[in-house]
Amino acid sequence: MNQTLELNAEKRYLNLPVKNGAARRWVSLIVDGRIERDFEIELADGNPDWWAFVDLAPFKGRTMTVRVDDLPADSTALKAIEQSDTINGGENIYRETLRPQFHFTARRGWNNDPNGLVYYKGEYHMFFQHNPYGWNWGNMHWGHAVSPDLVHWTELDEAIRPDKFGTIFSGSAVVDEANTAGFAKGQDKTIVCIYTAAGGTSRSSVGVPFSQCLAYSTDRGRTWTKYDKNPVLPHIAASNRDPKVIWYAHAKKWVMALYLDGSDYAFFDSPDLKIWRRICDVKLEGDGECPEFFEISVAGSTGEMRWVFYGGKGMYLIGRFDGMKFTPESGPHQLNFGNCFHASQTFNGVPAGRRILVPWGQVALPDMPFNQMLGFPIELSLRTTEEGLRLFALPVREVQILRSKKHSWKDVMLKPGENLLSGINGELFDMTVEFAPGMAEAGFCIRGMTVGYDATKQELICGDKRAAVAPRDGKVRLRLLVDRVSIDIFANDGRVYMPMQFQPKVGAPALDLYCKGGGTRIVSLEVNEMRPAWGK
């Protein structure tokens, strides 16, 4: 039976008790006869595992009906729903035992793909696939966070919520500098989000196909309005989705890359973000979903540019684009070699031509009121190698903001059984080592996880992942960013990028620098202890 609760929205939050694995119930928040929020949730009877919340700020002072469908008459779940000026359990937010300390995580619920990465007026906007009401995937919204420096993030309220066209799947965002869409009001430029409405993924969109829609903000991303003539790109094929839109300045038009099905993608152009024309198709064997498309300079050259196209796994093509057709010259190449990377996207509009990427960091976080994370931002460069042009990846320089205590060594001969790092404790590190491995195996053991280099095979190894890394002048250089449940590994100044998730081993030493099969000359070693980014 359906049960209801009447309340006057007087406080900031409506707290909802969640029991992971409980029966899923539909909850509707009804104001003035209109459903303002509608979602599935595993409501708890008895002690909850955690508390989800709804921000009541838009409804303050108004009467609201909370309706729970198919709730048994003897359930206590509805009675447990309560208003408060704080999030239940909020005193522990960012302090939880498995909370990553400089990788972004949502305050509550599930997250996956980064969406709508865009820079405007000193702020980085990062949207993300978000289920605010569950530990698992579902109820897809666009969560939203902003940062002045790519390191310290402030989570805002949900930006885009499900509607009659479906839940909100992945997409991108642009700043409409020339007001081509005509949405502008006041002095601020309009931020426009282009997203997939995933028809058929909610009860209000049964029978509706996937399509592409717009939402926009005229107040620097603080409030959002959906375009009243959505969708702007009707259904084409299968679960067509994940539009990546850029401004193509040479022809003063917008260009969209869209995933169709299998390994097939299509390109479209538009003068105003509202009317789209298909201009060419691209096939990317071995990949799918979440296209990314950008122009990047060739490092060390003057004015030489290429275009890069890649999919959800990060398999990329390098080529040229004339405004109507993308012509690959090489690829697909592999961007990442780890187990904690999917559906990455790069920021639009970053000053000085920087190309900054954020992936979905795939890591399960059991017994937490949140699940999954976003990868730490990395900066891409396109460099000439013995194999041709390739993307290199390194952490954004802003990570240095978090460094605290520094330890360093130079020209040390490490012997088997020795550990230079035995006196260092902690969880968070930014480490760089350059070593001459000879014929030995050398590397780090970090709270039970080994990051090693096998000199005989010339391979970087972590868990079940491997990547070829050839010494340069007899030396190998590794950079590691260590967070509570992840290690981002960069070899030879970004030639290899291996983001890894791991579960720390209880009681294991914080750090061990080891070698096997002979001594290893440590040319230089720097270990920076890190502060949390959350400021808590």
Report pLDDT digits (tens) over 61-90: 999 999 999 999 889 999 999 999 999 999
Q: What is the mean pLDDT of residues 348-352?
A: 96
Structural Rg of the chain based on CA atoms: 24
Q: What's the predicted TM-score (pTM) here?
A: 0.97
- Tell me the two tokens of residue 293: 């498309």
Query: Is 100's pLDDT higher than 70?
Result: yes
Give the torsion sign (CA, 454, 457, 463, 469): positive
- List, in sequence order, every beta strand (DSSP E) within 43-189: 50-55, 63-68, 82-84, 109-120, 123-131, 141-147, 154-160, 167-176
Domain shared by 372 and 484, yes or no: no
CATH number at residue 377: 2.115.10.20
Question: Are residues 328 and 280 both part of a single domain?
Answer: yes
* Residue 190, domain member (yes or no): yes
For the chain, the farthest-separated pair of C-alpha atoms sits apart, in whole angstroms, at 75
Taking the C-alpha atoms of residue 253 and residue 272, their distance in angstroms, rounded to an integer, is: 8
Residue 187 C-beta-side C-alpha neighbours within 13 Å: 1
Helix, coil or strand: residue 298: strand
Active site residue 113: yes
Range of the domain at 149: 93-395
**pLDDT tens digit string along 126-176?**
999 999 999 999 999 999 999 999 999 999 999 999 999 999 999 999 999
Domain boundary among 73, 90, 107: 90
Of 395, 426, 455, which residue sits at a domain end? 395
Specify the pLDDT at position 536: 47
Asked whether the beta carbons of 149 and 350 are under 8 A apart, the reply is no
Q: Closest Cα partner for 344 from 285, 281, 295, 393?
A: 393
Six-digit token string for 117: 């990465």
Mean pLDDT throughout 96-105?
97
Burial class of residue 128, CB neighbours in 10 A (0-12, 13-18, 19+): buried
Q: Would residue 414 count as lying in a domain? A: yes
Nearest one of 532, 498, 495 to 359, comparing CA atoms: 498
- Tell me, yes or no, whether 513 and 408 share the same domain: yes
Task: Please give the single-letter amino acid code of residue 363.
Answer: V
Number of domains the chain contains: 3
Q: How confident is the model at residue 302 (pLDDT cuts 50, 70, 90)?
A: confident
Tell me which of 90, 118, 153 is where a domain ends: 90
Single-letter amino acid, residue 447: R
Q: Are 176 and 243 contained in the same domain?
A: yes
Residue 220 CB neighbours (<10 A): 15
Q: Given this model, what pLDDT does residue 440 score? A: 85
The answer on pLDDT for 312 being more than 80 is yes
Please pick, among 32, 70, 113, 483, the residue that the annotation labels catalytic.
113
Statement to judge: residues 419 and 361 lie in one domain: no
Please tell me the chain's helix, strand, coil percentages from 3-state DSSP, rounded to the nearest 5.
Answer: 5, 50, 45
